[in-house]
Structure 1
Amino acid sequence: MHADVWGGELWIDVLRSTLEYGLAPKSWTDYLYLSVGGTLSNAGISGQAFNHGPQISNVHELDVVTGKGEILTCSEEENSKLFHAVLGGLGQFGIITRARISLEPAPHRVRWIRVLYSSFSSFTRDQEYLISLYGNPPSQKFDYVEGFVIVDEGLINNWRSSFFSPRNPVKISSIGSNGGVLYCLEITKNYYQSTVDTIDQEVEYLLKKLNYIPSSVFTTDLPYVDFLDRVHKAELKLRSKGLWDVPHPWLNLFVPKSRIADFDKGVFKGILGNKTSGPILIYPMNRNKWDQRSSVVTPDEDVFYLVALLRSALDNGEETQTLEYLSNQNRQILRFCDDAGIKVKQYLPHYTTQQEWMDHFGDKWSQFYQKKMEFDPRRILATGQRIFMPSFLASSSPSSGSVAPW
Structure 2
Amino acid sequence: MSYLHARLLRKRNMLIVRSFIILLLSCIAFKLACCFSSSISSLKALPLVGHLEFEDVHHASKDFGNRYQLLPLAVLHPKSVSDIASAIRHIWTMGPHSQLTVAARGRGHSLEGQAQTRHGIVIHMESLQAQKLQVHSAGGPAPYVDASGGELWINILHETLKYGLAPKSWTDYLHLTVGGTLSNAGISGQAFRHGPQISNVHQLEIVTGKGEILNCSERQNSDLFHGVLGGLGQFGIITRARIALEPAPTMVKWMRVLYLDFSAFARDQERLIAADNKFDYIEGFVIINRTGLLNSWRLTFTPEDPSEASQFKSDGRTLYCLEVAKYFKLDNKDIINQEVKESLSELSYISSTLFSSEVTYEEFLDRVHVSEIKLRSKGQWEVPHPWLNLLVPRSTMNEFAKGVFGNILTDTSNGPVIVYPVNKSKWDNRTSAVTPEEEVFYLVAILTSAVPGKERVEEILKRNQRILEFSEEAGVGLKQYLPHYTTRQEWRSHFGGKWEEFVRRKSRYDPLGMLAPGQRIFDKAVASYS
Q: TM-score, normalised by structure 2?
A: 0.69
Q: Which structure is larger by alpha-carbon Rg, 1 or 2?
A: 2
What is the DSSP-based 3-state SS (H/G/I as helix, E as strand, rest coil) of the residue aligned with 2:322? strand
Aligned twin of 2:74 = none
Q: Using the alignment, how far apart are the partners of 2:218 and 2:436 within structure 1?
A: 24
Aligned twin of 2:469 = 335
The one-letter amino acid of 1:355's match is Q
Aligned twin of 2:202 = 60
What is the DSSP-based 3-state SS (H/G/I as helix, E as strand, rest coil) of the residue aligned with 2:405? helix
What is the DSSP-based 3-state SS (H/G/I as helix, E as strand, rest coil) of the residue aligned with 2:406? helix
Residue in structure 2 matching 1:31, options 173, 187, 190:
173
Farther off after superposition, 237-246 or 325-334 = 237-246
Aligned twin of 1:100 = 242
Asked if 2 retains the 8 angstrom alpha-carbon contact of 1:3 and 1:100, the reply is: yes
Residue in structure 1 matching 2:425, options 288, 294, 308:
288
Report the alpha carbon displacement of residue 238 of structure 1 after superposing the two structures with TM: 1.2
Asked if 1 retains the 8 angstrom alpha-carbon contact of 2:513 and 2:525, the reply is: no
Asked if 2 retains the 8 angstrom alpha-carbon contact of 1:40 and 1:88, the reply is: yes
Q: Using the alignment, how far apart are the partners of 1:290 and 1:264 within structure 2?
A: 24
Whether 1:301 aligns to 2:438 is yes
Whether 1:372 aligns to 2:506 is yes
Q: Using the alignment, how far apart are the partners of 2:389 and 2:340 within structure 1?
A: 31
The one-letter amino acid of 2:166's match is A
Aligned twin of 1:229 = 366
Name the CA shift for 1:283/1:226 in 2 (closer, same or farther; >3 Å).
same
The Cα offsets for residues 243-273 of structure 1, whole Å up to 9 and x where unpaired, read as 1111111000000000011111110031012
Q: Counterparts in 2 of 1:107-126, with a 5 A limit? A: 107-126=249-268
Aligned twin of 2:188 = 46
Name the CA shift for 1:86/1:173 in 2 (closer, same or farther; >3 Å).
farther
Whether 1:246 aligns to 2:388 is no
Residue in structure 2 matching 1:356, options 490, 494, 499:
490
Percent of pairs identical after alignment? 58
Q: How many residues align?
A: 382
The Cα offsets for residues 127-165 of structure 1, whole Å up to 9 and x where unpaired, read as 0000001xx2xxx3200000000002179544x652357
Q: Using the alignment, how far apart are the partners of 1:313 and 1:162 within structure 2?
A: 23
Q: Using the alignment, how far apart are the partners of 2:491 and 2:314 within structure 1?
A: 43
Residue in structure 2 matching 1:326, options 460, 465, 468:
460
Report the alpha carbon displacement of residue 52 of structure 1 after superposing the two structures with TM: 0.4
Whether 1:12 aligns to 2:149 is no
Tell me which of the two structures has the higher relative contact order, counting C-alpha pairs closer than 8 angstroms and 6 or more residues apart: 1
Residue in structure 1 matching 2:323, options 186, 190, 212:
186
Question: What CA RMSD, in Å, does the superposition of the two structures yield over aligned residues?
Answer: 2.3
In the TM superposition, structure 1's runs of 4+ consecutive aligned residues that sit over 6 Å from their partners are 168-173
What is the DSSP-based 3-state SS (H/G/I as helix, E as strand, rest coil) of the residue aligned with 2:353? coil
Aligned twin of 2:342 = 205
Residue in structure 1 matching 2:410, options 261, 273, 287:
273
Q: Using the alignment, how far apart are the partners of 2:154 and 2:162 within structure 1?
A: 13
The Cα offsets for residues 73-96 of structure 1, whole Å up to 9 and x where unpaired, read as 000111100000000000000000
The Cα offsets for residues 151-198 of structure 1, whole Å up to 9 and x where unpaired, read as 02179544x6523579x9999994578x82000000000001332231
Aligned twin of 1:387 = 521
The Cα offsets for residues 217-238 of structure 1, whole Å up to 9 and x where unpaired, read as 0000010000000000111011
What is the DSSP-based 3-state SS (H/G/I as helix, E as strand, rest coil) of the residue aligned with 1:85? helix
Q: Using the alignment, how far apart are the partners of 1:169 and 1:82 within structure 2?
A: 58
Report the alpha carbon displacement of residue 391 of structure 1 after superposing the two structures with TM: 8.1
Asked if 1 retains the 8 angstrom alpha-carbon contact of 2:287 and 2:412, the reply is: no
Asked if 2 retains the 8 angstrom alpha-carbon contact of 1:153 and 1:172, the reply is: no
Q: Using the alignment, how far apart are the partners of 2:324 and 2:331 within structure 1?
A: 21
- Structure 1 residue runs without a partner (length 5+): 395-406
Q: Using the alignment, how far apart are the partners of 1:7 and 1:362 within structure 2?
A: 29
Q: Using the alignment, how far apart are the partners of 1:188 and 1:73 within structure 2?
A: 37
Q: Using the alignment, how far apart are the partners of 1:354 and 1:157 within structure 2?
A: 46
Report the alpha carbon displacement of residue 21 of structure 1 after superposing the two structures with TM: 0.5
The one-letter amino acid of 1:311's match is T
Asked if 2 retains the 8 angstrom alpha-carbon contact of 1:152 and 1:180, the reply is: yes
Name the CA shift for 1:87/1:313 in 2 (closer, same or farther; >3 Å).
same
What is the DSSP-based 3-state SS (H/G/I as helix, E as strand, rest coil) of the residue aligned with 1:215? helix
Name the CA shift for 1:148/1:48 in 2 (closer, same or farther; >3 Å).
same
Aligned twin of 2:118 = none
Asked if 1 retains the 8 angstrom alpha-carbon contact of 2:312 and 2:352, the reply is: no
Residue in structure 1 matching 2:282, options 145, 153, 163:
145
Q: Using the alignment, how far apart are the partners of 2:525 and 2:222 within structure 1?
A: 30
Q: Using the alignment, how far apart are the partners of 2:436 and 2:513 within structure 1?
A: 28
Report the alpha carbon displacement of residue 241 of structure 1 after superposing the two structures with TM: 1.3
Aligned twin of 2:273 = 131
Q: Using the alignment, how far apart are the partners of 1:209 and 1:165 within structure 2?
A: 21
The one-letter amino acid of 2:253's match is R
Report the alpha carbon displacement of residue 6 of structure 1 after superposing the two structures with TM: 0.6
Q: Using the alignment, how far apart are the partners of 1:207 and 1:180 within structure 2?
A: 24
What is the DSSP-based 3-state SS (H/G/I as helix, E as strand, rest coil) of the residue aligned with 2:269? helix
Report the alpha carbon displacement of residue 210 of structure 1 after superposing the two structures with TM: 0.6
- Structure 2 residue runs without a partner (length 5+): 1-142
What is the DSSP-based 3-state SS (H/G/I as helix, E as strand, rest coil) of the residue aligned with 1:368? helix
What is the DSSP-based 3-state SS (H/G/I as helix, E as strand, rest coil) of the residue aligned with 2:407? helix
Asked if 2 retains the 8 angstrom alpha-carbon contact of 1:150 and 1:181, the reply is: yes
What is the DSSP-based 3-state SS (H/G/I as helix, E as strand, rest coil) of the residue aligned with 2:324? strand
Asked if 2 retains the 8 angstrom alpha-carbon contact of 1:180 and 1:274, the reply is: no
The Cα offsets for residues 99-135 of structure 1, whole Å up to 9 and x where unpaired, read as 00000111000000000000111100000000001xx
Q: TM-score, normalised by structure 1?
A: 0.90
